[in-house]
Structure 1
Amino acid sequence: MIGAGRMGQAHANVLTRLSGVQVTWVMDVNAQNAERVAAQLGARASTSLEEVLSQPDVQAVLISTPAGTHADTIEAAARAGKAIFSEKPLAKTLEDAVRAVRAVEAAGVPNQVGFQRRYDPAYVSAKARIDAGDLGRLEGFRAVGRDPEPPPTEYLVGAGGLLVDMGGHDLDLARFMVGEVAEVRAIGGAIVKPELAQHGEHDTAVALLRFENGALGTLEVGLRTAYGYDIRTEVLGERGRLHIERDKQPDLSVYDAAGVHHDRPRHFSERFAEAYAAEITAFAEGVQAGRTLTPSVRDALHSLRLALAAQHALVSGETVRVQEFGREWMEQVESA
């Protein structure tokens, strides 16, 4: 376990409940964090990545460190011959992401990237219906992603941009459910936290997508709601529409003198608890059984390119052709 923050702990807690899986090491640059979590899991603690990767009994690593460290950590784990699960994104730049992909594929190690929505039961069912042709020709896509409140300004300034950090999940879903995106344009603003404008950052954005198959799409991203975590996805086809939204959690409506009201998910960890457990289970069981894991680092690279292209469109005001964006780096992987 590399990275002992909230997400790493959540993943590790799933692993400890799986047969045949044992967390043996917890590595974090903060010694106190590593020691605290290691004690909870009955593991050994370390602040050294090299020490952990050199252990012969470590067969796989789970990477949940800050995004800017993912590429280097993935590359080191690949060289050490470990199976790799990494949180998204692969990196903050295509250059670093391509380097990570090349290292993983050269080593031939099992690999999976944490786009957990692909494992959410509702999205799994929707994808199966799309693949079965239930919607016929796909014509439209709409995604909404809004957090209850923005993280600190310091985090947002270093996160790589709103459409990469938060919109990355929705843009991955666009590829997963509808297909590759041909071009993207975007507008945005610093509406919730005006001070972000001084750093060229945004807390609200809308992106327009044109897919290679002719479908059109929109993505709305924001960092403040008064009502909780708001994630919606819609796919429109010639024969119907699929709509994914969890408005109630638990699925209970209360009727009283004040009217009708219910609770809804407040944070991503509530909305996607099943999905996080499913993706980690799929990783562990897939490594043990020798099955192909998904999404792979190569798949995640294409989602990162789309997110970076969308962010570039947001900052520049240009319409960006996705296949042309970062072509010099992508060719290094496509020719491999």
Structure 2
Amino acid sequence: MPLALVVAASLAALILAVALAVGIGELAVSFADVFRAIANRLFAAGYPVPPIQEGVIWDYRLARALVAACCGAGLALSGVILQALLRNPLADPYVLGISAGASTGAVAVAILGLGAGALTLSGGAFCGAVLAFLLVALLAAGTGGGTERIILAGIAGSQLFHALTAYIVTASANAEQSRGIMFWLLGSLGGVRWGDVGLAAPVALLGFLVCQFHARALDAFAFGTDAAASLGVPVTRVRLVLFAATAAMTATMVSLVGAIGFVGLVIPHAARFIVGPHHARLLPAAMLVGAVFMVLADIASRMMVPQQVLPIGVVTALIGAPAFALLLYRARKKGV
């Protein structure tokens, strides 16, 4: 399928999904009122929209939908990069423990005051993500490397950081903090506002540009590091840049909405099925498909249980867990 057609269809689907996300809720809003309210805020159009309705649309639901889209895009890009660099179809930030490490870093800042005020929530999440990846790399290297061992090391690292997070919350948080943190860890978009859009959107866009710039190098990594080096790819530098971009995107999204699993695992495979394996096409497709998926998952989280909002991580897990099982089965048949 031509990339231009995929991008156009994905953009149209994203706009429709965002419009649905803004319109759906306890206060039902028509598409016409959604666009009128946005036009009033952006262009001072002066359409007759009740102030309360306009406030709900602009200040709460639109910001929430845009953060969801940015998180889906960033996590999907991270999954593409890790699968390419590690040459493993099961690699993603959640499986490799990067999301868990970012959660631990963010919780340590929020509850323990790590950094004495000099470290932001996103900064703590980034430090935790980097520490988690280094730990997984050391564990995998100590057992002889290999894609299967990297996945096993990631699972071990993920469990370790989940345990550290639970210990910090249990030992140091009060009852109110514990409830808020545990709900946030499952994925929550309830508290996001426009300031979070201002953080998530630039990180996702910059991460995409960095990854797209290295698209040819990522194609070369499909044949192994030795083959990539023989083709003139500066392997060490490219790996460092792309791993840093992955850690930054994962840490930023986790600090905003919590550890949301399976997006970075499932979406790259869906995009690869649509546009093929070449990264110049795969990266923009995965970014847009991930954004659409996350917005739709947010809509589902608000509709599945009447009068309640499910953690969005529950919705992504309900979809991603069966997909993960299928990928494990296929990888086993191929001898991965």
Higher helix residue share:
2
Structures share a fold, TM > 0.5? no
Normalised by the length of structure 1, the TM-score is 0.23
More strand by share: 1
